[in-house]
Amino acid sequence: SAVISQKPSRDICQRGTSLTIQCQVDSQVTMMFWYRQQPGQSLTLIATANQGSEATYESGFVIDKFPISRPNLTFSTLTVSNMSPEDSSIYLCSVDQETQYFGPGTRLLVL
């Protein structure tokens, strides 16, 4: 199974600021996925990040709010822009190798 790391593991941010979350995988993967898990809820897919093309966003998520980079086959970033308290959540990246494996998550609190 893939080994996935995320940075930062947690952060507390002021509203109106932006935070970039990094995801690193120990092997090359075609697709990486970004999820959000709000308190007490299950995972919601934000977008799929393919290397060399624009990310594909799910309904309710837009590139201006959640820009994604995918510069190579082992790395991706998700930026949470112009944050509000409603963005407080756990953000997880994952990769698909027959099934999906998740990074440890980034716990974000927006004040």
| Max CA pair span of the chain | 39
Using DSSP, state whether 51 is helix, strand or coil: coil
Using DSSP, state whether 35 is helix, strand or coil: strand
Pick the binder of another protein from 13, 43, 57, 88 (CB under 8 A): 43
Nearest residue to 79 via CA among 60, 43, 41, 106: 106
Decide if residue 92 touches another protein (CB under 8 A).
yes
Least Cβ distance, residue 88 to another protein (angstroms):
14
Rg (CA), the chain: 13
Decide if residue 102 touches another protein (CB under 8 A).
yes
Least Cβ distance, residue 61 to another protein (angstroms):
14
Q: Provide the binding-site residues for another protein, judged by CB under 8 A.
A: 31, 33, 41-45, 48, 92, 96, 99-105, 107
